[in-house]
Amino acid sequence: MAEIRRAFMPLHPQLVIMAKQPLIGRAKTRLARDIGAVEALRFVRVTGDTLLRRVARNPRWRTLVAVTPDSACAEKGFWPADIPRIAQGAGDLGARMGRLFRTLPQGPVLIIGSDIPDITRRHIAEGFTALRAHDTVLGPAEDGGYWLIGMKRRPRIVDIFEGVRWSSEHAMEDTMRNITARGMSCALLDTLADIDTGADLAAWRGRA
For the stretch 142-169, pLDDT in tens is: 999 999 999 999 988 999 999 999 989 9
As a whole number of Å, the end-to-end CA separation of the chain is 39
Burial of 45 from C-beta contacts in 10 A (0-12 / 13-18 / 19+):
middle
Is 201 inside any structural domain?
no
Which helix or strand (DSSP H or E) is residue 157 part of?
Answer: none
pLDDT grade for 78, boundaries at 50, 70 and 90: confident
In order of 3, 4, 131, 147, the CA distances from 9 in angstroms are 12, 10, 18, 26
Q: Is residue 199 assigned to a domain?
A: no
Q: Is residue 203 part of a domain?
A: no
Edge to edge, what strands does the sheet with 186-188 contain?
85-87, 62-68, 14-20, 109-113, 146-151, 136-140, 186-188
In a domain, 132, yes or no: yes
Instruction: Identify the residue with better confidence: 22 or 178.
Output: 178
User: In angstroms, rounded to a whole number, what is the distance separating the alpha carbons of residues 126 and 92?
Assistant: 27
Tell me if 42 is assigned to some domain: yes
> Do 195 and 51 form a contact (C-beta atoms < 8 A)?
no
pLDDT above 60 for 3: no
Range of the domain at 87: 2-193
Q: Whose CA is closest to 126, among 175, 66, 61?
A: 61
Is-cis flag, bond preceding 155, omega within 30? yes
Alpha helices in 8-78 (DSSP H): 29-35, 37-55
3-state SS, residue 91: coil
Percent of the chain beyond pLDDT 90? 82
Over residues 122-133, the mean pLDDT reads 97
Mean pLDDT of all residues belonging to the chain: 92
Confidence of residue 1 (pLDDT cuts 50, 70, 90): low
How many independent structural domains does the chain possess? 1
198: in domain: no
pTM attached to this predicted model: 0.92
92 within some domain: yes
What's the CATH number where 44 sits?
3.90.550.10
By the 10 Å C-beta count (0-12 exposed, 13-18 middle, 19+ buried), 144 is classed as middle
pLDDT category, 170, cuts 50, 70, 90? very high
CA–CA separation, 46 vs 208, rounded Å? 15
Catalogue the long-range contacts made by 81-90 (C-beta closer than 8 Å, 24 or more residues apart): 82/57, 83/52, 83/56, 83/57, 84/4, 84/7, 86/1, 86/4, 88/18
Q: Does residue 23 fall inside a structural domain?
A: yes
Taking the C-alpha atoms of residue 121 and residue 5, their distance in angstroms, rounded to an integer, is 24
